[in-house]
Structure formats: structure tokens, C-alpha cells
Amino acid sequence: MDAVLSLLSALLIGYIAVGLYQWGIANAVFTGENRSACLGDSVGACWAFIGARFQQFIFGLYPVEERWRVVLVFALLVVLLVPLAIPRAPFKRLNASLMFFVFPLVTIVLLTGGRFAMTGSSIALAFALAAAVTLFLCVGISSRAGSYGLTKVAVGLTVFGLLAAFMAPYLNFDRFSVLTFRFDTLSFIALVASLLAITLSFVTALATLEEKSGALRLVYPTLAALFFVATLTTDFGLAPVPTNLWGGLLVTLVVALTGIALSFPLGILLALGRQSSMPAVRLLSVVFIEFWRGVPLITVLFMATFMLPLLLPSGVSLNQLLRVLVGVSLFAAAYMAEVIRGGLQAIPKGQYEGADAMALTYWQKMRMIILPQALTLVIPGIVNTFIGLFKDTSLVSIIGLADLLGAVRRGFNDPAWITPTTPATGLVFAAFSFWIFCFGMSRYSIFMERRLSRGHKR
């Protein structure tokens, strides 16, 4: 029976392979200037169509004279990502800093042209987030910082700064200029509160750490906020390119990489929040996760496109691509949280007890003991979520964004290339392009899983 099934399988595979060879290579048309080259009874794939519109499949309607910026972004992505993916490559910390902090800002400036008009509330929000990260690092590196009096004041100032920065656009206060930026009273107070919280966190670290040099790392979030504001507001002399001209592989990678980069840390926080002993944090995490998991992604995209602008204050608008990035990131974060929660539940209770016996703080315990083990256990689930997110980017074409699949489908309506074989050729090209990225992520996850699970082999 096994021999018969093997023979039938081999015959089926051979039949399919011969058919694909004849259609895709033997009878295919590789060159041509228009549809006439791909007409005929025995013509196979019309690869001339792919060659003629290949630039649009990669760049969309991005201006031809500015496409060097997209190529530069792709080159920087490869240069930074490849050494980061190689375990034995040196300078991992520097490479990670450039990849996750510098590269996104450089990409935004290159692709859009930069020179954003940042409001006072957005600047205050940037420094409020820096204050939150600084406070988190302070508590993480010092076991005594949590019980120090100034820490509680810093927490209050940070929460106030975040709330005030969010509420400032909705409230009408007097406006004034600081340097070249426009602030209102509430956003300026939020900025001052955030800077005070950063200062108090730094003072707390100096007072509670035995090695004072460890407090220097608390400066990094503030420097990152300064770099963020300076980079986005500086005029680099680049021509502005609106996002409605972006398309093809550019949009696919922007949506996928942004969703991956934002959903992973947010998913970790939501997973920890769902297992928190604080009822309010646990309830908010559960509500967030269950809401986003219960809504189809296409509904999220429509909500982000048509309903999100209704929730913004008057005078504040987000372009369509940015709204999609927000919706996709929140949607993926809910699924990522459940994957990571499964890893947290798989950690033996003795690991938690051992960390508590070492007098580690909660964040030290999670950062050094629990999360490294949990994330290693759920690598397949994490990468599976990433692959699903990458493929789901094709749904953005429904709301008018021309991703790779959308750009290919729009090419079917070009009168110069309307033939019976054009749709099949374009779809095969799009499918193969998606398969290359998804297969690469899958193989790399298998490599990392084997490398990190050597201690678990029996």
C-alpha cells in the first residue's frame, strides 16, 4: 500500500512539475513591449508583463527621481538586519540600537522627506514616554528604587505627563512659542512634569545604586527623545513624498515591519498585564486582548480608516497609511500577547520562587529569569504570528492602499497588457514574492529554535 501511494504521489508531482515547466518556462514569454507578445493559443506565462511593470510592483507611484531613497532604505535594512540575525556577529548592542531606534527615524525622513511640524503635545508625549522608560530602567537596575520616596513622585509626574500630553489637543489653552515649537499651557506643563520625572529617576538611581556609573544608562531615553524630535523637525532638503504615492513591495514591508516591531513589545506588556496581580491592570489587558481578537482584521482596517479620524481632536489628522499602521499593530499585539502568555504559563513555578529568593524586583525577575525562557519556548508561535501578519498586509488593498498584491492586480487593468495569461502570471509572481519572505522567516525561526533549545534536548 505504501509503495502504491508513493508511486501515485510521484506521478502527481511529476505531472504538476511538467505542467508548471511548460507554462512558466517552455511556453512563456519573457520579452515584449505590449500585450501582442503574449497573445496566442499556446502561450504560457507572460513574464514580459512583470518586467514591464516591475518598478511599479516595487515602488508604486513613488516619484522616479526620488526612488533612490527607497533603495537606500532597503539597503540599510539588509545591512542592519543580516548582522543582527547572525548569532556570532560582533557589536550586537550597537547593531540593535541602530536597527530599532535610528533606522526607523531615518526611514521616516527618507521616505516622506521629513520636516514635520510637531505640536507641543506631541513633543510632550515623546518626553513623557522617555520619562516612563527612564523610570522603568531605574526600577530595573536598582532593587531599592521601588521603595524610595522620590520614585513615587516620579511615577505621579510621569502619569500626569502622559495624561496631559494626550488631553492637550482636546482642550483649548493659551498658545505660545518656545524656540520654534508651538505649545499650549497644558502641553508645556506636561513637558516640564516629564523632565522633572526624568530628573527624579536619575537622582533615585544615584542614591540607591552602589555603582553610580550604572545610572548613566538612564540618560539614553532622554537622548532618544531629543534625537526623535530633532530628526523629524530638521529640514534635510528632501522633496516631500505623500504616502498616497507609495505602493507595491514598499507598502507591504512598511506595514509588516511596523506591525512586527510594535506588536512584539506591546504583546509582552499585555501578556504580563493579563497575569498581573493588580485587578485593574489585569482587567484592562483582558478587555484589550479579547476585543481585538474578536474583531476581523478587515473590520479593524475600516475602523482605522473611517472611525479613528472621528476620535481625533479638531485640527489633528492622520494620513491613511498611519491609521492602518496603528490598527494592524494593535490587532497583532493581541494575538502576540496570547502566544507569549502561553510561554509564561509553561515556566515552572520554581523559577518564580527562585527569582524571589534572590530578592529580585518584579521587572528584574521578568527581564533576567522568566521572559528569556518563555520567549524561547514560544518561538514557533511568535514567528507564526509574524508570518500571518505579513500575509495579512494584502488586505490593505481593500481600503485603497496599493500593496504588492494590490499593485499587481491594478496592473491587470492596463490596456497594454490585457491578455488571458496576465492575471495568472501576476498572481503567481505575487504569491512567489510572499512565499520568499514567509519561508525565510520560517527557516530562521527553526534555526533559532534549535540553537536556543540545546539545553532542553534529551
Tens of pLDDT along 286-340?
A: 999 999 999 999 998 888 888 777 777 666 667 888 889 989 999 999 999 999 9
Q: Which residue has the cell 520636516?
A: 115
Amino acid at 16: I
Instruction: Check residue 174 and report its DSSP letter.
Output: -
Quickly state the pLDDT bin for 458 (edges 50, 70, 90).
very low
Q: Where are the alpha helices (DSSP H) in 22-66?
A: 47-52, 54-59
Question: CA–CA separation, 264 vs 259, rounded Å?
Answer: 8
Confidence band, pLDDT 50/70/90 cuts, at residue 455: very low
**Terminal CA-to-CA distance of the chain, rounded, Å?**
34
What's the pLDDT tens digit per position in 222-257? 999 999 999 999 989 899 999 889 999 999 999 999
C-alpha cell at 358: 534572590
Residue 178, strand partner residues = 181
**Mean pLDDT rounded to a whole number for the chain:** 88
pLDDT tier for residue 355 given thresholds of 50, 70 and 90: confident
Distance between CA atoms of residues 252 and 230, nearest Å: 28
Determine whether 308 is exposed, middle or buried from the number of CB atoms within 10 Å of its CB (0-12, 13-18, 19+). middle
- Residue 357 banded pLDDT, cuts 50, 70, 90: confident
In whole angstroms, what is the distance from residue 9 CA to residue 7 CA?
Answer: 5
Q: Is 206 in contact with 212 (CB distance < 8 Å)?
A: yes
What is the Cα–Cα distance from 45 to 432, expressed in whole angstroms?
14
The model's pLDDT over 194-226, given as tens digits with 9 standing for 90+, comes to: 999 999 988 888 888 777 777 788 899 999 999
Print burial letters for 127-149: b (CB count within 10 Å at least 16), e (below 16): bbbbbbbbbbbbbbbbeebbebe
Burial class (CB in 10 A: 0-12, 13-18, 19+), 48: buried
Distance CA 351, CA 443 (A): 30
| Beta bridge mates, 175 | 184
pLDDT value of residue 316: 67
Q: What percent of the chain lies above the pLDDT cut of 90? A: 42
Helix, strand, coil content of the chain in percent (nearest 5): 75, 5, 20
The CA distance from 151 to 138, in Å, is 9
Residue in the structure block whose three cell numbers are 518564580: 352
Work out the burial of residue 118: count CB atoms within 10 Å of its CB; fewer than 13 is exposed, 13-18 middle, 19 or more buried: middle
Q: What's the average model confidence in pLDDT over 38-53? A: 87
Residue 199 to residue 204: CA distance in whole angstroms: 9
